[in-house]
Amino acid sequence: MTLGVETQASQLAARLKQQARTLGFGPVGIAALPGSPRIGLRTAALERWLAAGHQADMAWMADPRRRTAESLLPGARSLLAVGLNYYVAAERQPGSLKVARYGWGRDYHRVIDGRLRQLGRWLEQEVPGLGWRACVDSAPLLDKAWAEEAGLGWIGKNGNLIHPRQGSWLLLGHLLTTLDLPADQPAEPLCGRCSRCIEACPTAAITEPFVVDARRCIAFHTIENRDAELPETIQAGLGAWVAGCDICQDVCPWNQQALVSSSEPDLQPRDWLLNLQAEQVESWGEADWDERLRASALRRIKPWMWRRNAAAAAAAQPQSATTIRQSTDSRHQPQT
């Protein structure tokens, strides 16, 4: 007896997800394009965010392809969303400069893209002639919105995707395909009345729930800002952060539970990142940085920027969160 089309699609979807898990991904889920009305709401939120100037200098966020996933793959009908747990139970040495967890290991763009391409080739063997495209966050795709649509987790008030058992320490990837595959149920938000991330941000970058203003964000300024000096309000709240910032994730209750530490070799921290000292940042030459940042997502931060960030962290005078927030609010009023 020949299986029905729907049954065949369901079986292929199950095998695709299992193949993704075999490659180290989890959670995994499928969304149908063009998506539910929630995708429309997320797209409208992006438009408001851009109109308010929250993207700062990140002009690529306005790429029109970001509004329609099908523009990345003509004829796309489905999307496999995958998460890669990057939480590693390692601690920074006391007194060291701080680097966000996403940058501790090998460049996640390379890791995820390579595995998604393996998935795409596997899928093409199963269904010759189909179209597919692998996307990491460098592609103009609403990656968190589509991960939410595929049931991987919900977008929290700090703008990060949160999984109920794995927290927000997830790197995301997507595989677009021209196949019609059965969609999973979109995730439901579970932040409730919690506002810890909003209250913890030392520069008031989360101007309201679900809205992060890059102009106030430590991560943006330490990674993307190419100015010779950081803004005073950023320096005031910088603390020891010199490459990204994890504060809004560190305080999230969903990250306080017992989390599984990744054993992925590609995601294990480089020793120097856990014990980075200001004198090292200042003394290392171009060749030193080139060696240490080989195959690292942190290569986007140029050596002079590391020195700038470290100098700003050292020069910052301790201030209370209230003082910093008042200073920030006086300089940058939220736009509506």
pLDDT of res. 334: 30
Count up the domains in the chain and report the number.
2
Q: Is the pLDDT of residue 307 over 60?
A: yes
pLDDT bin (cut points 50, 70, 90) of residue 287 is very high
Same domain for 165 and 51, yes or no, is yes
The chain-wide mean pLDDT, for the chain, equals 93
Q: Model-level pTM?
A: 0.90
pLDDT of res. 327: 40
pLDDT of res. 316: 74
Strand positions, DSSP E, the chain? 28-32, 78-85, 98-99, 132-135, 154-155, 161-162, 170-177, 206-208, 211-212, 241-243
Same domain for 218 and 318, yes or no, is yes
Residue 186 located in a structural domain: no
Single out the residue in 124, 145, 177 at which a domain terminates. Answer: 177
Q: How much is the average pLDDT of 74-92?
A: 97
Residue 191 located in a structural domain: no
Residue 190 located in a structural domain: no
Give 10-51 as a DSSP string. Answer: HHHHHHHHHHHHHTT--SEEEEESS--HHHHHHHHHHHHHHH
Residue 114 located in a structural domain: yes
Same domain for 13 and 158, yes or no, is yes
pLDDT of res. 309: 98
Single out the residue in 177, 208, 236 at which a domain terminates. Answer: 177
Same domain for 138 and 204, yes or no, is no
Q: Cα–Cα distance between 244 and 234 in angstroms, integer?
A: 12
Catalytic hit among 113, 137, 180, 329: 137
pLDDT bin (cut points 50, 70, 90) of residue 317 is low
Q: Is the pLDDT of residue 328 over 50?
A: no
Q: Is the pLDDT of residue 318 over 80?
A: no
Same domain for 165 and 33, yes or no, is yes
Same domain for 236 and 308, yes or no, is yes
Q: How much is the average pLDDT of 24-47?
A: 97
Same domain for 108 and 229, yes or no, is no
Single out the residue in 177, 208, 226 at which a domain terminates. Answer: 177
Domain that holds residue 142: 5-90+102-177
Residue 288 located in a structural domain: yes
> Is residue 137 annotated as a catalytic residue, yes or no?
yes
Residue 189 located in a structural domain: no
Q: How much is the average pLDDT of 112-137?
A: 97
